[in-house]
Amino acid sequence: MKNTSTSAAVFEGVRHGLGLPTVIIFATMAGFGSLAVETGFTALEAALATVLVWAMPGQVAMAELRQAGTETTVLLLAVSIASVRFLPMATSLMTVIGSGCGRGVRGWGLRMVLAHLMSANTWPLGMRSAERYEPRQRAIYYLALCLVCITAGCLGTIAGYHAATQLPERLIRVLLFINPIFLSIMLVGAGERSVLISVVLGAALGPPMHLLSSDYGILLAGLGGGSGGYVITRIARRWRSS
């Protein structure tokens, strides 16, 4: 029987948020905070970038483009494009928790807030909430989880900003990569064979695709890995059924 307790949903959301996701987000945003110093952000601007953009590629793009003197409209467009990858994730997440947000303006407002607060770290946990909670409690659980994580992100940004002069540059770069590594581990842990194959293929294609095109290497590796994992899984299923 699924849990219908609102207090239990809040408690579990906070508890899960204070676990590994918080550590990963704090460390990743500390890397961004250090980068923000190099690109001329104030501490307040860096923290606001974390809250308003809440996507590492978009935040890095914004910092680098601002340093280059890019116009605001172009900068906003670049940040939006960098975050487009979240659209399929947000769409799938809303099918799980969206019905628990209610109707009318308030319901749509809550959906927008939850979609904005979604991150690569919280998305897998939100998708799994359907196994334990009714729709209303799923939304509450996910809101509590995300609020803890975005708070950790802000604290990490500020900590990284003020510690920038004491952190080696290589460590800063490593911190920026913790988040995608964590997401890959979470996806593999889901147990889906197609996901495992896609992650392995994407990782293998990464270096050669980067040599082929430094601008589109990551996109090509992801497209090739995901497509390859899907095709291989479909072929394997047909072979087993025949």
What φ, ψ does residue 69 adopt, rounded to 5°? 80, 25
pLDDT 10s digits, 145-204: 999 999 999 999 999 999 887 777 777 677 767 766 766 666 655 556 777 788 788 888
pTM: 0.76
pLDDT 10s digits, 44-85: 999 999 999 998 888 888 888 888 888 888 888 888 887 887
As a whole number of angstroms, the distance between CA 215 and CA 96 comes to 34
Per-residue confidence (pLDDT) for residue 45, from 0 to 100: 92
As a whole number of angstroms, the distance between CA 45 and CA 202 comes to 34
Place of tokens 């407002």: 109
**CB of 221 within 8 A of CB of 206?**
yes
**CB of 27 within 8 A of CB of 40?**
no
